[in-house]
Amino acid sequence: MTTLYRCITEDDTLQFCHRVSEALSKGWSLHGNAAMAFDPVKGVMRMAQPVTKEVAVDYHPELKLGQQ
């Protein structure tokens, strides 16, 4: 088994919640707390949520994490 890691990032909008919810529905697990930071260039809050997933494939750099 291989543990995959990804960090979902998005402006603080409903879209962020949908992206995290979709990952959870595909078997990903929350890995720590979400983080929030202000983006002064865009003038918006940005969100980040790390997630992990155990898979039965060998890791390689070309692996499409969001499709696992």
CA-to-CA separations, 43 to 12, 20, 24, in angstroms, rounded: 11, 22, 29
pLDDT in tens, 20-59: 999 999 999 999 999 999 999 999 999 999 999 999 888 8
pLDDT in tens, 7-16: 999 999 999 9
Q: Is the pLDDT assigned to residue 68 strictly greater than 90?
A: no
The domains of the chain are located at: 2-60
Q: Which CATH class is domain 2-60?
A: alpha beta
Q: Is this structure's pTM higher than 0.85?
A: yes
Longest pairwise C-alpha distance within the chain:
41
